[in-house]
C-alpha cells in the first residue's frame, strides 16, 4: 500500500506514521502537512527515507492534493486545526482547514476512485452530564459545542454526503482524548507537565470536574490501521479505551508522579462553553473488527508521557513561551 497521511507532522498523525511503518514493512507513506504552528518535522525524524516522503503543503491546495491522491492508493486524513481554545479566539482557520481541506480531499478521492479514512473526534456529539449512564455510540445525534467541534462535525457530514451521493469509498472514526509523546504544549496534559518542569503550577479550568475519556495515541493508531484495512465503506467507528477521568484527578496524578504536592495547582477561568463530559462506547469497533486497546494502565502511560517531556525539553521548549503568551492574552 502507498498511502497519503495528511497532518502527519502533528501529534496523532506522526504517531500513526511511526506506528504504521513499523507494523507494515512494505508500505510507503507520503505525509502532506502545512507545518502550521502545530506541525513539526522533528516528529518524523529517523524514518527510512525509502519508505517515506514529506510534502509541505496545504490540504486546501486542490492541484497538489489531486496529484498526491492520484499517485497513491488511499488517504488517511488527520490534518486539522485541533485546539478548542484557539477556535474560540480565531475560528476562521478552523473553517479553512477542517471544512475546505476535507472538501478538497473528497473531490480528489472521488475523481481518482481512491479510499479515504477520515479522522474525527467524539466532540461532534456534544457533551454528557456527569451522572448520565449513557456513553456516545455511532447512533448518538450530532450536537457540537465549539467552533472546533462544529467544523469537525461539518467535515464528517461532507464525508457521508460524498459516500452517499458520489459513491466515494470512505470510513470515519471518532476518537476520544489522546495522550502520549509529541503532543503540543497547548493541550491539557503536556501543558501541565511542562508548567511543572518550568517551576510553575498546573492550571485547571473552573472546578476541574470535567471528564475526558483518555486513550493512548498508539491505541488510536492501531484502531485507525484496523479500520483502514478491515472497515466497511460508509461506516463510522467510535474509538475509545474506557479511560474516563476528571481533570482534577489527572492534575493530581501528574503532580504526584512528578514528586510534587498533589494539591499544588491553580484554578483559572473556565473555558467558555466548556463541554462537561465525553465517554465513548467502542463496542462496534471491538466486536465487528476485533480491535482492542493495549495501553489500559493510564497511570503507567501517563508516567511514560511525563518522562518523554522531561527527556525532550529541546522539542517542547521553542513552543512553550509563545503558547503561554497566547494563554495570557485570554
Ligand atoms: P495537531 O494540531 O497536533 O496536528 C495537526 C497537524 O495538521 C499539524 O501538523 C498541522 O501542521 C497540520 N495541518 C493543519 N491544517 C492543515 C492544512 N490545512 N493542510 C495541511 N496540514 C495542516 O492535531 P492532533 O491532536 O494530532 O489531531 C489530529 C487529528 O485528530 C485532527 O483531525 C483532530 O481533530 C483529531 N482528533 C484529535 C484528538 C486529540 O485528542 N488530540 C482526539 C480525536 C480526534
Ligand atoms: O490548561 C488547561 N487546563 C484545563 O483544565 C487546558 C489546556 C485544558 N484544561 C481542560 C479542558 C478540558 O476539559 O482539560 C481538558 C482537556 O483539554 P484539551 O487538551 O484542550 O482537550 P479537549 O478540549 O478535550 O479536546 C481534545 O480532545 C478531543 C483535543 O484537543 C481535540 O483535538 C480532540 O478532538
- Is residue 120 within 6 Å of ligand 2 at its C-beta? no
- Whether ligand 2 lies within 6 angstroms of the CB of 83 is answered as yes
Q: Assign 277 to helix, strand or coil.
A: strand
- Write down the residue that cell numbers 492520484 correspond to: 70
pLDDT at 305: 98
Is 148 a residue of the active site?
Answer: yes
**d(Cα 202, Cα 124) in Å, to the nearest integer?**
28
**Cβ of 210 less than 6 Å from ligand 2:** yes
Of ligand 1's listed atoms, the one at least distance from the Cα of 119 is 32
User: Which residue CA neighbors atom 16 of ligand 2 most closely?
Assistant: 188
What's the pLDDT score for residue 329? 83
Put simply, whether the predicted model's pTM sits higher than 0.85 gets the answer yes
CB of 119 shorter than 6 A to ligand 1: yes
Query: Is any atom of ligand 1 closer than 6 Å to the C-beta of 82?
Result: yes
> In ligand 2, which atom is closest to the CA atom of 247?
14
Q: Is 178's C-beta closer than 6 angstroms to any atom of ligand 1?
A: yes
Number of the ligand closest to the Cα of 80: 1
Of 123, 213, 244, 281, which one is the catalytic site residue?
123
How high is the pLDDT of residue 330?
A: 61
Answer whether 78's CB lies under 8 Å from 16's CB.
Answer: yes
Q: Are 77 and 119 in contact (CB under 8 A)?
A: yes
Classify 104 as helix, strand or coil: helix
Known active-site residue 122: yes
Which of 36, 150, 212, 252 has most ligand 2 atoms within 8 Å of its beta carbon, as the pocket-test mutant?
A: 212
Residues of the chain with confidence (pLDDT) below 50 = none
Return the residue matching grid coordinates 449513557. Answer: 134
Ordered structural domains, the chain, with CATH: 2-183+215-243+277-295 (3.40.50.720)
Cα(85) to centroid(ligand 2), Å? 8
Distance 155 CA to ligand 1 centre (A): 13
Is 299 marked active-site? Answer: no
Ligand nearest to the CA of 184: 1
Q: Are 152 and 82 in contact (CB under 8 A)?
A: no
Neighbours of 20 (CB within 10 A): 21
Query: What distance in Å separates the CA atoms of residue 248 and residue 203, rounded to the nearest whole number?
Result: 10
Amino acid at each position: 500500500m502507498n498511502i497519503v497521511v495528511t497532518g502527519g507532522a502533528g501529534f496523532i498523525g506522526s504517531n500513526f506514521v511511526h506506528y504504521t511503518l513499523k507494523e507494515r514493512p512494505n508500505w510507503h507513506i507520503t505525509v502532506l502537512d502545512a507545518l502550521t504552528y502545530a506541525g513539526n518535522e522533528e516528529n518524523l525524524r529517523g524514518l527510512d527515507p525509502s519508505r517515506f516522503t514529506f510534502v509541505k503543503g496545504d490540504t486546501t491546495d486542490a492541484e497538489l492534493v489531486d496529484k498526491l491522491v492520484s499517485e497513491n492508493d488511499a488517504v488517511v486524513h488527520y490534518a486539522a486545526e485541533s485546539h478548542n481554545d484557539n477556535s474560540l479566539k480565531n475560528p476562521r482557520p478552523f473553517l479553512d482547514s477542517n471544512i475546505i481541506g476535507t472538501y478538497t480531499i473528497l473531490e480528489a478521492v472521488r475523481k481518482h476512485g481512491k479510499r479515504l479514512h477520515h479522522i474525527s473526534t467524539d466532540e461532534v456529539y456534544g457533551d454528557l452530564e456527569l451522572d448520565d449512564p449513557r456513553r456516545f455510540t455511532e447512533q448518538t445525534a450530532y450536537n457540537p459545542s465549539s467552533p472546533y467541534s462544529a467544523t469537525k462535525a461539518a467535515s464528517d457530514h461532507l464525508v457521508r454526503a460524498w459516500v452517499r451521493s458520489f459513491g466515494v469509498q470512505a470510513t470515519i472514526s471518532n476518537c476520544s482524548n489522546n495522550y502520549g509523546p509529541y503532543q503540543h504544549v497547548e493541550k491539557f496534559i503536556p501543558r501541565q507537565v511542562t508548567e511543572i518542569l518550568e517551576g510553575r503550577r498546573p492550571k485547571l479550568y473552573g472546578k476541574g470536574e470535567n471528564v475526558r475519556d483518555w486513550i493512548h495515541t498508539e491505541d488510536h493508531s492501531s484502531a485507525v490501521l484496523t479500520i483502514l484495512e478491515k472497515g466497511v465503506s460508509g461506516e463510522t467507528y467510535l474509538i475509545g479505551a474506557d479511560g474516563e477521568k476528571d481533570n482534577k484527578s489527572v492534575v493530581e496524578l501528574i503532580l504526584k508522579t512528578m514528586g510534587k504536592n498533589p494539591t499544588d495547582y491553580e484554578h483559572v477561568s473556565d473555558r467558555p462553553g466548556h463541554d462537561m463530559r465525553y465517554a465513548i462506547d467502542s463496542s462496534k469497533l471491538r466486536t465487528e473488527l476485533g480491535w482492542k486497546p493495549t495501553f489500559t494502565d493510564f497511570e503507567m502511560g501517563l508516567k511514560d508521557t511525563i518522562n518523554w517531556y522531561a527527556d525532550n525539553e529541546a522539542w517542547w521548549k521553542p513552543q512553550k513561551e509563545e503558547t503561554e503568551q497566547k494563554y495570557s492574552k485570554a
